[in-house]
Amino acid sequence: MPLIIITGLPCSGKSTRAKQLHDYLESRIAETTAASSSTPKYRLHLISDQTQSISRTVYDLSPEKLPAHVRSANASEKDARAALYGAVKRVLSPRDIVILDGLNYIKGWRYQLFCEAKNMRTPSAVLQIGCSVDKAKQVNEARLARRKRTEQQASSQGQQQPEPKPEAEEKDSESPDHTKPEENETESILSKDDTSEPYSESNFENLIFRYEEPNPMTRWDSPLFTLIWEDDPHQTTQTFSKLWDVLAGESKKLVRPNL
Ligand code: ADP
């Protein structure tokens, strides 16, 4: 199998779905291995900006931050794509399932990945994570708010020089720190284990504007699967199961002639 290209707006829930897909495929591989009591048929890889240590800022083309010649060359983003391409290429084979979690918003880039899979004689598919712009914006704003809060926290801790306290005051130091900014309601949309960095506001708006929707009529964006934010675990499993079937199950044969 196969390359699974995840695509979607910034902060639309791509990494969450990529992890769920990873867990799902892991259990399908384990099932088929147990049934045939042989070595695993597939190895599984999850590649993302995070695994390649690519910062959100590489996508930032804000005019106030970059001079025009840098913006047009768009070098940082090209370097990031080259790193991702290298990472995919290193592991992609008919025995390796690669989940590429990222914006993957440029159709030319998805075409390039499709060709790479074709070269390796293994199928590819696109999983689009659908989410309203408002919801994605809410997530990014929550991450911005969290970053601001943690920065304020760090600076207020830096200002409080620890001075030797008289014994009587020592007990008070164990009481809650009221200078610590509280997590606000905006942040409640984020899961507790969310640690992802936000995009700057202008970077976020720009990426929304530049997003090139996948088109299932083109070879490189098909087969196209979609999951939306509201899809429950049952719907999610159904979509993953169809993906597995097309890329590794019986229906795989129907995909192969297009390779
Ligand atoms: P992206 O990878 O697109 O930046 P994430 O997967 O990191 O998005 O999700 C952003 C935040 O939204 C996370 O805190 C995550 O837990 C939450 N989230 C993502 N998808 C859903 C969903 N379908 N339902 C509820 N919360 C979600």
Walk along the chain (259 residues) in steps of 10 and give the mean pLDDT of each run. Answer: 92 98 95 80 94 91 63 78 96 94 97 95 96 97 95 82 56 50 82 94 95 96 97 98 86 48
pLDDT of residue 251: 58
Does the C-beta of 14 come closer than 6 Å to ligand 1?
yes
In a domain, 205, yes or no: no
The rounded Å distance from CA 154 to ligand 1 centre is 26
pLDDT of residue 71: 56
pLDDT of residue 153: 87
pLDDT of residue 180: 57
Residue 35, domain CATH: 3.40.50.300
State the DSSP string of 75-97: HHHHHHHHHHHHHHHHH-BTTEE
The rounded Å distance from CA 197 to ligand 1 centre is 12
- C-alpha separations of 74 from 66, 67, 77, 109 in Å: 10, 11, 6, 14
In a domain, 141, yes or no: no
Residue having the nearest C-alpha atom to atom 4 of ligand 1: 11
Domains of the chain: total: 1
Nearest ligand 1 atom, CA 190 = 14
Does the C-beta of 139 come closer than 6 Å to ligand 1?
yes
pLDDT of residue 146: 95
Report pTM.
0.86
Does the C-beta of 16 come closer than 6 Å to ligand 1?
yes
In a domain, 198, yes or no: no
Q: Which of 25, 34, 55 is nearest to 196 (CA)?
A: 55
In a domain, 143, yes or no: no
Structural domain boundaries enclosing 233: 3-133+211-258
Does the C-beta of 62 come closer than 6 Å to ligand 1?
no
Does the C-beta of 190 come closer than 6 Å to ligand 1?
yes
pLDDT of residue 25: 96
In a domain, 230, yes or no: yes
Query: Cα-atom radius of gyration of the chain, to the nearest Å?
Result: 22
Question: Is the preceding peptide bond at 2 cis, omega within 30 degrees of 0?
Answer: yes
Residue having the nearest C-alpha atom to atom 19 of ligand 1: 13
Please provide residue 15's backbone torsions phi and psi, each rounded to the nearest 5 degrees: -65, -35
In a domain, 165, yes or no: no
Q: What is the ipTM of this complex?
A: 0.99
In a domain, 17, yes or no: yes
pLDDT of residue 66: 59
Residue having the nearest C-alpha atom to atom 1 of ligand 1: 11
The rounded Å distance from CA 146 to ligand 1 centre is 15
In a domain, 149, yes or no: no
Do residues 226 and 128 make contact, with C-beta atoms less than 8 angstroms apart?
Answer: yes
pLDDT of residue 75: 82
